[in-house]
Structure 1
Amino acid sequence: MDLHKEDDRGSAKQKKVKIVFVIGGPGSGKGTQCKRIAQQFGYTHLSVGEILRQEISSGSETGSMIQKIMKEGKLVPSDVTVRLLQQAMQGINSDKFLIDGFPRNEENVKAFEDLTKMEPEFVLYLDCPQDEMEKRLLSRNEGREDDNVETIRKRFKVFMESTLPTIEYYESKGKIRKVDAGKSVDEVFESIKVIFSQGKDYNKVPPSRHKCKCLIL
């Protein structure tokens, strides 16, 4: 990724950027927790879902395509998602990014690594039971047209089929930091604070002891 700054002699110098991905099923609390993390630990919070919705609102041809895909509960093509995410990161003068809702699948991972030549410092996984996520989505009443039972359940299915393999991928690299997101907002954040305070030394045990629990759909 072309994230750089000028040194005293005016030549381009690569800027070291720290990235943390935050993933979890729909309604697992990613947005809520990311706002708290950003405030307490000085990260720039980028929500991939919000970036995609902004593109829809722009009325562009890409936005119309994204809207159609999201209505069907499917995933937006990786090249589109990464390009929009890359544009957002390049437009902000920051060296610490908290990326919410990404990657959604293994193709996202490959596209991000190929285009940016970067990897996350670690991946925060908000592990939440499906019935709790469904209850949260149906009660939040934000006026989002994809917050209906049929679409929500499609999104759960997509999450299980597409995102869990990416969790296993990062787990094999020792980068997954999992918290129980079924608890209260404050309790979840207390667990998250431990992770961000201790950084990559947190919970450093062999990947086999970090097995993710698949959602039962």
Structure 2
Amino acid sequence: MGTVVEASSKEASGSSLSQKKPKVVFVLGGPGSGKGTQCANIVEHFGYTHLSAGDLLRAEIKSGSENGTMIQNMIKEGKIVPSEVTIKLLEKAILENENDKFLIDGFPRNEENRAAFESVFGDLQTGITPEFVLYFDCPQEEMEKRLLSRNQGREDDNIDTIRKRFKVFLESSLPVIEYYNSKEKVRKIDAAKPVEEVFKTVKALFTPVVDKAAA
């Protein structure tokens, strides 16, 4: 009986998403690459809604729901939260928001995330895939310098932890970037430049062709 309910629920959400046809841009970059700052700029200038996979998981935990408790227990035990759980939260956030343009920040973190996203969003009637992947490329030394200067005193941002996070990013997220690059969907940004210069490059990617011609 549960299977029928699950199937019909998936069908209903699938149908809602295909009707909405959201425009999705994935945002990836190492810790300290400045993607949070740039996402805020894109939201302000181009009216996107910023969805952070990490923030959605934290909000679910804070809500005290059964799902939130399960997520919290998994994190406590050092287990990775299943991709399906994160995707369900993303799907819910997209459907509940009136906007139809979304920046999905820090996702997909790995190949498993990517495959799960495609199996849920890609098997809809219209097939929802990212418009492109915004990749903030920044040298490790620059990211370390930024994180250490802005997070003095925070235990989770000491040099060893930062290097571990960077290593995880290289091992997990680079294969995702390579996958989308093979489909010519990656827009690589030199994130080592000053914030204003970086946004100038980002802005060009989001400005419609018509606006560019008019300018």
Equivalent position of 2:85 in the other structure: 80
Q: Contact between 2:75 and 2:81, CA under 8 Å: does it hold in 1?
A: no
The aligned counterpart of 2:151 is 141
Equivalent position to 2:179, from 169, 187, 192: 169
Q: Which runs of 5+ in 2 are unaligned?
A: 1-12, 123-127, 210-215
Q: Distance in 2 between matches of 1:135 and 1:57?
A: 32
CA RMSD between the two structures: 2.5
AA partner of residue 37 (structure 1): I
Aligned residue among 118, 123, 127 for 2:133? 123
1:62 aligns with 2:62: no
Q: Is the counterpart of residue 16 in structure 1 residue 10 in structure 2?
A: no
Summarize the Cα distance change of 1:142–1:110 in structure 2 as closer, same or farther, 3 Å threshold. farther
Distance (Å, rounded) in 1 between the aligned partners of 2:151 and 2:99: 32
Matches within 5 A, 1:1-217: 2=14, 4=16, 14-59=19-64, 60-65=68-73, 67-68=75-76, 76-117=81-122, 118-141=128-151, 146-198=156-208
TM-score by length of 1: 0.77
More helix per residue: 1 or 2?
A: 2
Alignment-mate amino acid for residue 183 of structure 2: K
Which blocks of at least 5 consecutive residues in structure 1 are unaligned?
A: 6-12, 200-217
Is the 2:27–2:104 Cα contact (8 Å) retained in structure 1? yes
Which structure has the larger Rg over C-alpha atoms? 2
- Give the % identical residues: 62
CA deviation profile, 1:131-156 (whole Å, cap 9, x unmatched): 11122222323986633333222211
Please tell me whether the aligned partners of residues 25 and 130 of structure 2 are also in contact (alpha carbons under 8 angstroms).
Answer: yes
Aligned partners of 1:24 and 1:30 also within 8 Å:
yes
Offset, 1:38: 1.1
- Post-superposition offset of 1:2: 3.5
